[in-house]
A and B are shown apart, each in its own frame.
Chain A
Amino acid sequence: MLNETYDVLIIGSGHAGGMAAKILTEYGIRCLMLNAGPVADVSHDAEKKPAYELPFRGFRPPGRLEHVFQSNEFNANVWVDEQEVPYTFENDQPYNWVRVRLFGGRSLFWSRQSFRLSDYEFKAKSHDGFGEDWPISHADLAPYYSRVEGIFCVKGALDGPPQMPNGNFILDDAPWTSAMQRFMDVAKPKGVPVCKQRAALGRDGLASSVNLLLPDAEKTGKLTSIANAVVREITVDKNTGLPNGCNFVDRLSHREMSVKARVVVLAAGTLESTRLLLNSNLANSSGLVGRYLMDQIYGAGVVCSVPEARNGRSKGVMGSSAIIPRFRNIDTKSAKFLRGYAFNTTASTGALGARNFTAYGAELQRKMDEYSGSGFYMTIMGEVLGRYENHVRIDKDRKDAWGIPVLHVDTKYTDNEFNMAKDAVDTACELTEAAGFEVLSKNDKPNPPGYSIHEVGTCRMGNDPKKSVLNKFSQSHDYKNLFVVDGAQFTSAGWQNPTMTILSLSMRASEYLAGEMLRQNI
């Protein structure tokens, strides 16, 4: 039916939007979901090819996607094109904004790591005096975490310390291989916990909104979805002053259209949701929309070799993956930085790359043959502090391919992040050398902000409407019929991959919204 009013308009189809659609439609609420990009169908959009058939032999096509380090010639067409949807930053403060507008968003390609935030994150200010506490605690979100872990088939062990709460896992009871066991024997006495990795197995090889959430919503018959809808702005009812829908433009035909809804749920991804609020000039009585942009530092770490696994003796020695959750500033206090970092720690059976040896030609190949199957990797995921100065705003002079003003990103890492990275590399070297491993290469410089693809904040939640954009149910302090359910709502970043938390917050907000709508409060 044309031009009818839907109950809820959901902007975005990734983890946050997909969960909102599932929960709301299961409560009988009619939802309209808009996605900026097309539906991707791997059976006709993709094909296995060898690198030599591609013009650039797999190298990222020069000049394209310069800020998406994760891109190469094979996957270049899945990311949002930086010229189609540009963004700006100061020359000396680069930002890597990594986006996917395909239906399902970044949920199609995420790494599956699944950790809960703990009260060291939810009540971070109570613990160390910096920033703000979240308006919720782990206890508030725990039931939702459990349900999400069930839907996403998260596999892990119940071996987490308090800073990494255990969950509803498919149990990982595989024994540790000997190299990892030796490493643990060195790490544990130094107060460094080493735990089984936690990963969402999903179903049929995918753990995404498109296979775990949207089908449930579609089954209810209450979900209408539109692809290729680039939203310009959220519209406001002239009489009530409340958000009442949006204007959007068809991505390909450039035809202008609009829809109406009683409630608007933003789930376009942290910075796109914020960009939409800023372009619509809405929900900013606090003045904090766009402020406190955070992510995690990535890129620092070490690559080592386990001597007894060389020369083809990898079996039984290598093959374990571990997560070392944050251990700094839990029971101890670091002089050089607040909060902490985790290590992804892997004893790999694969080959060690050429960059790990100062050799070339035949000598390099001899070394690679000897060292193959002995690689031990530790890479950091560190919490970035939320600072008022790190923010995004609209750059009115630049517009994207549909004439929508772009974001200007003004953020940089500080000593807290740089000191954390240095401590991480020093600690990794200390532990691996104590375990008898050979350190081959190391790096203590974080990748540019945004590289982690875990950008959060800019619409943080809180109890005080003067110090936050959203309340504890992800609802705008200014409009009770406006919700932001993606990463924008985070009050602090934590070291943990944000997906489980985004899904759980979206589930909780959607159930709250459903309750309010059924009680006719909204």
Chain B
Amino acid sequence: MLRRDFVRAVIAVGAAPKLLLGQQAATPSPPLPAPTPWLLGLNSKTPIPYVEAADQVALAELRFFSPQQMATLTRLSDVLMPPMGEKPGAVQAQTPMFLDFLIGDSPDVRKQVYREGLDWLDSEAKKKFNLEFAKLNDAQVDELLKPWLRTWMSDHPPAEKHADFINIAHDDIRTATVNSKAWFTVPEVGAEPRTTVELYWSPIEPDVSLEKADCAQMPPHVKAVPKADHPMPSYPR
């Protein structure tokens, strides 16, 4: 709130409680105008409510992948990262739903890699086994995936078609699962990756007038179209 209103409120709060109590005995008068004094009561002793991340509790709406693609992605996630020991797998960590959200928000090139990749997996399954991908058993899935697995270094995933989707999706599925609450709550036994727990920076004195800025009225600046089929991915380093 503006500083002068704050100052007025501070002056008012000293007088207000006594006035309210006094007036209960005599004729009641209308309540004080906002900001009312009790808004100023928050202080360092105030207990902080504990809240859960929404997608741990609520069912998120699917909005990007088609039902068929979602079935393929779910089967793929379950094979690439099944539950192991006490640790949950991708499906238990709600990774397919999360990826629907992440990829659905991502730049077009990333959306395309996923959509085409999932459709391709399904058509390969039908070609080879006369079944949709979601109905394949583990051995059949392995036969489709094995030729496309690659090793790669940060910022340089395989560029070859099909290998790109398989390896990027594998990496995304693993990261999303490891960073889930389901994963975090089960202690590690070996060299399983750890959930990232790090310093999170809130917006620092954010500029909320950005919507009025000249640049907000103009189309986004020229986006890079790199030589590979798809842009460098956004991976945790």
Q: Please provide the chain A residues from 84 to 117 with a CB less than 8 Å away from any CB of chain B in the complex.
A: 84, 86-92, 94-95, 102
Interface-centre pick from B106, B110, B198 (highest chain A CB count, 10 A) = B198
Name the A residues within 8 Å of B151 (CB-CB).
303, 355-358, 440-441
Q: Are A88 and B222 in contact (CB under 8 A)?
A: yes
Name the one of B200, B204, B215, B224 contacting A401, with C-beta atoms under 8 angstroms. B215
Stretch at the interface among A6-14, A37-45, A166-174, A237-245: A37-45
Most buried by B among A52, A62, A69, A83: A52
Decide: B190 and A448 in contact? CB cutoff 8 A: no
Interface string of A76-87 (1 = CB under 8 A from B): 111000111011
Q: Most chain-A Cβ atoms within 10 A of its Cβ — which of B149, B151, B226?
A: B151
B174 surroundings in chain A (CB, below 8 A): 354
- Cross-chain contact of A301 among B81, B153, B200, B236 (Cβ < 8 A): B153
- Return the CB mask of B75-86 against A: 1 if under 8 Å, else 0: 000011110100
User: Which A residues are closer than 8 A to B by beta carbons?
Assistant: 37-38, 40, 42, 45-54, 56-60, 62-63, 66-67, 69-70, 72-78, 82-84, 86-92, 94-95, 102, 228, 251-252, 254, 299, 301, 303, 351, 353-362, 365, 368-369, 371-372, 398-403, 406, 440-443, 445, 447-448, 451
Contact A92 B227 (CB under 8 A): yes
Measured CA separation A303–B156 after assembly (Å): 13
Q: Determine the main DSSP class of B at the interface with A.
A: loop
A451: chain B residues at CB < 8 Å are: 155
Would you call A63 and B105 a contact (CB within 8 A)? yes
Contact mask for chain B residues 195-237; partner A; CB cutoff 8 A; 1 contact, 0 none: 1111111111101011001111010111111110001101011
**CB of B38 within 8 Å of the partner chain:** no
State whether the Cβ of B193 lies closer than 8 Å to any Cβ in chain A. yes
Contacting residues, chain B, for A251 (C-beta < 8 A): 205, 207
Bound-state Cα–Cα, A202 to B197, Å: 25
CA distance A356 to B151 in the complex (A): 5
Q: Is the CB of A48 within 8 A of B198?
A: yes
* A45, B201: Cβ atoms closer than 8 Å: yes
Size category of the B interface is 35 or more
CB contact under 8 A between A40 and B204, given known A57-B98, A299-B156, A369-B191: yes
CA distance A251 to B205 in the complex (A): 10
CA separation between A103 and B151, bound complex, in Å? 40
Give complex CA distance A86, B221 in Å: 7
A62–B105 CB distance below 8 A: yes
Q: Which residues on B are within 8 Å of A, measured CB to CB?
A: 53, 56, 79-82, 84, 98, 102, 105-107, 110, 145, 149-156, 167, 170-172, 174-176, 179-181, 184, 190-193, 195-205, 207, 209-210, 213-216, 218, 220-227, 231-232, 234, 236-237
Which of B53, B195, B221, B225 interacts with A92 by CB under 8 Å?
B225
Which B residue's beta carbon lies closest to that of A91?
B225
Min distance, Cβ B70 to any Cβ of chain A, angstroms:
18
Q: Contacts A303-B153, A441-B153 given; indicate if A57 touches B179 (C-beta within 8 A).
A: yes
Query: Which of chain A's residues has its CB closest to B185's CB?
Result: A52
B224–A53 contact, CB under 8 A? Answer: no
Q: Are A77 and B105 in contact (CB under 8 A)?
A: no
Q: Is the CB of A400 within 8 A of B156?
A: no
Q: For A38, what are the chain B residues with a Cβ–Cβ distance below 8 Å?
A: 204-205
- A102 contacts across to B, CB distance below 8 A: 204
**B residues in contact with A359, CB < 8 Å:** 149
Taking A52-B56, A52-B180, A84-B210 as contacts, is the C-beta distance between A358 and B234 under 8 angstroms? Answer: no
> Contact partner of B106 among A62, A72, A95, CB < 8 A?
A62
Q: A360-B145, A443-B152 are in contact. Are A59 and B221 (CB under 8 A)?
A: no
Q: Most chain-A CB neighbours within 10 Å: which of B82, B149, B156, B210?
A: B156
Chain B residues whose CB sits within 8 angstroms of the CB of A440 once the complex forms: 151
A84 to B207, CA, bound (A): 9
A52 touches B179 (CB 8 A): yes
Shortest CB–CB separation between residue A449 and chain B, in angstroms? 11
A52–B93 Cα distance when bound, in Å, is 10
State in angstroms the CA–CA spacing of A369 and B84 once bound together.
Answer: 13
Q: Is the CB of B181 within 8 A of A355?
A: no
Q: Is the CB of A77 within 8 A of B204?
A: yes
Q: Which B residues are in CB contact (< 8 Å) with A368?
A: 190-192
A57 and B234 CA atoms in complex are apart in Å by: 13
Q: A403 and B201: CB pair below 8 A?
A: no
In the complex, the answer to whether A94 meets B226 with C-beta atoms within 8 Å is: yes
A360-B149, A361-B80, A398-B215 given; A69·B209 CB < 8 A:
no
A401 touches B153 (CB 8 A): no
Q: What's the nearest-Cβ distance from chain A to residue B236, in Å?
A: 5
